[in-house]
Amino acid sequence: MTQRLYLMDSHLFENQCTVLSCEPAKEGFDVIVDSTVFFPNKGGQPCDTGTLGAVRVTDVRERGDELILRTDGPLSVGETVTGHIDEGRRLDIMEQHTGEHILSWCAYKLFDAVNVGFHCALTYATLDLDKPLTPEQVTAMEDMANALVRRNLAVTATIYESEDDLKGVPLRKHAEGLIAPIRVVSIENADSCTCCAPHVHFTGEIGAVKIVAAVAYKGGMRMTFLCGGRAMQQFQKLQMTVDAIARKFSTAGEEVLAAVEKQESELKEVKKEKAALTARLEEYLTAELKAQAEDVKGKKLLVQLTDTDPKRLRPLALATLPEKGLTLLLTEKAGQLTYVLCSNGLKLDMGELIPAVNLALGGKGGGRGTLAQGSAPAQAGLPETVEQLRGYLKQRLAN
């Protein structure tokens, strides 16, 4: 069985060990050593990575009582090698995991909310609570957590050989199904719970705790948070964003919100004016298009390539319809051709006409009854194609 050195010293990043076995695996080799500083994928967090002798450790997992190190190369059984974990990765994950303990303690103490889930990825971490909290309560949690961080409280790990030894030990959380010996991680004058993962020695190592999102989840709440270096990186990104926006508005960073709100208000007024002008313009455009319709044996035919917004093409086509007639309107924007075919007072089914239009334009579309529509890639020679369609539809109306 591998001796797990990380259980009592989370800041031990290197050790010498003996290779007990090395077996070929799907993506490398599975290695077992007699002792290790490598923590496996466990407890809601990713494993350590690093080097073992001259090979790279890419994954660590448990298999029964054994700890399996996946390496990218073979090692000789019996040889002594040095295992060295990626220190930055270990420290980062410890910051997040210890920060989660503190947040869970604050939620429990302040609002009797229980931690029911934790996940630590390489860029974010989440904490699930069994009840929803208000934004004000979330802020109170965050404030209390950072106060505990600033106090630089000791974080210790204690091994209890049996459940009986645990009696009388106050625990916020006691995971079910644990097999002795049982490890308890405690924060001085604060949290205490069973946990298998490495943690910082003092809360001050966490630096800062920042909750960046809190949303309803399975009847409770899921919080996304960042600690330590991750929190600092997030702050730096946000600061750069605020500074960039401030420069755009030629204002100070603290005045950015007011500048954005002012522009938003002005934009709403511009949109209202645009909508009114667009409506008036479409009235003129509708009248102009109606005037361009040609008579085909007592019926009107309008086939026209327009400069209309594709979203407005359908209502414009319907507005141009006379009591008895056929309209085909097309518009080409951003490399996309959109077309609408509609009729009024005719026995023709647009579902029967649209395949010919699709074929001529190289597009896809469908419909039935009095309306069909489709789209196609933009193309050269479109005016000539439109003229061909005009001739085809004129013939269908005449017949």
Q: What is the pLDDT of residue 203?
A: 98
Consecutive 10-residue averages of pLDDT for the chain (399 residues): 92 97 94 97 94 97 92 96 97 97 97 96 96 97 98 95 86 81 94 94 97 96 97 95 92 90 93 88 88 92 92 92 92 94 93 94 94 92 92 91
> Containing H/E element for 85?
strand 80-85
Q: What is the CATH number of domain 293-398?
A: 3.10.310.40
Question: Do 124 and 114 contact (CB within 8 A), yes or no?
Answer: no
What is the topology classification, in CATH, of domain 3-85? Answer: Elongation Factor Tu (Ef-tu); domain 3 (2.40.30)
Q: Which residue has the tokens 């934790």?
A: 118
Strands (DSSP E) contained in 232-355 are 294-296, 299-306, 325-333, 336-344
Q: Where are the domains of the chain?
A: 3-85, 90-236, 253-292, 293-398
* 44, 89, 132, 215, 268 from 119: Cα distances, Å: 5, 16, 18, 15, 42
Tell me if 367 sits within 8 A of 341, measured CB to CB: yes
Q: DSSP state, 47?
A: P
Cβ proximity of 46 and 60 under 8 Å: no
Match domain 90-236 to its CATH number in 3.30.980.10, 2.40.50.100, 3.30.70.120, 3.30.70.580: 3.30.980.10
- Local structure of residue 335 (DSSP, 8 states): T
Strand partners of residue 183: 159
pLDDT at 168 (0 to 100): 83
Q: How far apart are the first and last CA of the chain?
A: 90
Q: Is it true that 90-236 and 293-398 share their CATH fold? A: no
Q: For residue 241, what pLDDT is reported?
A: 93
Task: Give the residue among 104, 55, 102 at the shortest CA–CA distance from 81.
Answer: 55
> pLDDT at position 43, please?
86
Give the SS3 label for residue 280.
helix
pLDDT score of 376: 94
Spatial neighbors of 56 by CB under 8 A, at least 6 apart, are 49, 50, 71, 72, 73
